[in-house]
Amino acid sequence: MVHYLDHAATTPVRPSAVEAMVPLLTEQYGNPSGAHRMARAANRILDDARETMAEVLGAKPGEIVFTAGGTEADNLAVTGVLDANGGTALCSAVEHHAVLDPVEHHGGVSIGVGGDGRLDLAELEEVLTQTGSEVSVVSVMTVNNETGMIQPLDEVIELTRRLAPRAVVHTDAVQALCWLDLSTATAGADLVSVSAHKFGGPKGVGCLVVRDGERSLGFEPLLRGGGQERGRRGGTHNVAGIAAMAVAAAETHRQRAVHVPRVAALRDRLADGILADVDGAIETGTRADKTANIAHFCFPGIASEALLILLEKSDIMASAASSCSSGAMDPSHVLAAMGYPRDLAFGSLRLSLGYGSTDADVDAVLAAVPPAVARLRERG
């Protein structure tokens, strides 16, 4: 039996989402940009999905821009604003590379974090005080994809509004929708990214909220070509994927109040067991400030790659860091920003649960991790 503890990397597609997709791939396959009745039917499906995503995200339907996933949504947010308005971008040092790389590409600045992984608000305030008139976009993720730490987004928005009034705030909420009500958690942000495969939808589809109103700066598309999405994102719509994303988002939103406390209890038992049974284990961040699903550790004296191989032999699927990183097992930039030394960062382990996780999954991990770590330490 496989014990899947890598839900932060991707989730199984919900049966309801699969059910929504199949007829749109085999029977109702019209292109929504066309004029005939099959095209019009596809366009109505898009409209319904747009309304659903808007309701879940606390936005207006016209503010939803469908994308090919979280990476495109993040790049569109950062580059779309900078291409239209110039200026510079700020982000946290623990952002996903889908934000960090475009910010660095455009000569932006990353803001440090504390040892718990939360943004250093004093540093952000200092940078905004010095450069606020030049800043066009501030991007701080809602939840960190490696540690599960919830970032102080409300405080980021307040500082940005006060010290960089022309800037917009973007948040990468890709890891958050399962665990937080984004209609409130990201209500003050101008741009919000989500990705379907993190909450039971298919891979290759996501969306970006681009809020209307007086705070919005100009916005340039990354993809030009057909004028879709009100000219903000060209390309034929993935109707089946978009419909499935909306179904998964609505189901996740409805079930959140039930799943969050159950998964949190599983995570706490998992984390407490590892801390009790593995000498020297370090749990990163502060559990009270994390989402319910992620337990993240550093183990002195081992290498993550070897640990993951041993765990896989016990049918446990886990990860060391973001699954969007390169195949090379480099130490996590997130842990480096948090101040962890390189040798300790090489021994990290992320165990992430989902709505389908069970006590049996936790039991399997608690049986496998302590002897695996001990075995690797014996090898030196």
Catalytic positions, please?
324
CB 267 within 8 A of CB 294: yes
Nearest 5°: the CA angle 114, 57, 231 is: 105
Q: What are phi and psi of 206, to 5 degrees?
A: -165, -165
Q: What are phi and psi of 266, to 5 degrees?
A: -65, -45
Structure tokens at 140: 């701080």
User: Which residues partner with 317 through β-bridges?
Assistant: 4
* Cβ neighbours of 257 (radius 10 Å): 9
Q: Which long-range contacts (CB under 8 A, 24 or more apart) does 154-163 make?
A: 154/188, 155/121, 156/119, 156/121, 156/124, 157/188, 157/189, 159/121, 159/124, 159/125, 159/128, 160/128, 160/135, 163/125, 163/128, 163/129, 163/132
**162 three-state secondary structure:** helix
- Which amino acid, 128? L
Shortest CA distance to 236 belongs to which of 21, 17, 29?
A: 29
Do you know the residue count of the chain? 380
* Percent composition of the chain: helix, strand, coil (DSSP 3-state, to 5): 45, 15, 40
Rounded Cα–Cα distance for residues 120 and 111 (Å): 7
- Which amino acid, 247? V
- Which amino acid, 62? G
The separation between the first and the last C-alpha atoms of the chain, rounded to the nearest angstrom, is 30
